[in-house]
Amino acid sequence: MVQDCIFCKIINKEIPAEVLYENDDVLVFKDIKPVSPIHLLIIPKKHIPTFFDLQPEDSRMMGEVQRAAATVARDMGLAQKGFRLVANCMEDSGQVIFHLHYHLLGGKRLPWLAG
């Protein structure tokens, strides 16, 4: 738990979120400003600011993060058409919240990102 981290506060139920899946390592909830019909955030419960902060002992947990993405995508009916998992890392990507997270986007044919 890191003070003033909005995602840590969601994990600790200090601020509300539409949670779709939770286990010991991972929380999945709806993005508050969806950019596609399905837009979820998949986060580790451990506060890790960016990919550059990942430690060797985080590998199993990060595997669980990605497996949770597939589990929830299947539950949301995306098994046939698929989805996109994308993560922003620092300034050039436009990262706003420095608690590592994946965006799960789906529910329509997605255009590729501008480069």
In order of 55, 68, 100, 114, 115, the CA distances from 40 in angstroms are: 25, 11, 14, 21, 23
Residue 2 contact partner, candidates Zn ion, ligand AMP, none, CB within 5 to 8 A by sort of partner: Zn ion
Minimal distance in Å, beta carbon 49 to ligand AMP?
11
Residue 34 or 82 having the CB closest to ligand AMP: 34
Catalytic residue from among 47, 99, 101, 103: 101
Residue 85 contact partner, candidates ligand AMP, Zn ion, none, CB within 5 to 8 A by sort of partner: none
20 contacts 30 by C-beta, under 8 angstroms? yes
Binding residue (CB under 6 A) for ligand AMP from 63, 77, 97, 108: 97
The interface with ligand AMP within residues 3-42 (CB under 6 A) comprises 6, 17, 31-33, 41
According to DSSP, residue 109 is labeled: P
Q: Compute, in degrees rounded to 10, the torsion defined by CA atoms 33, 64, 94, 16.
A: 30
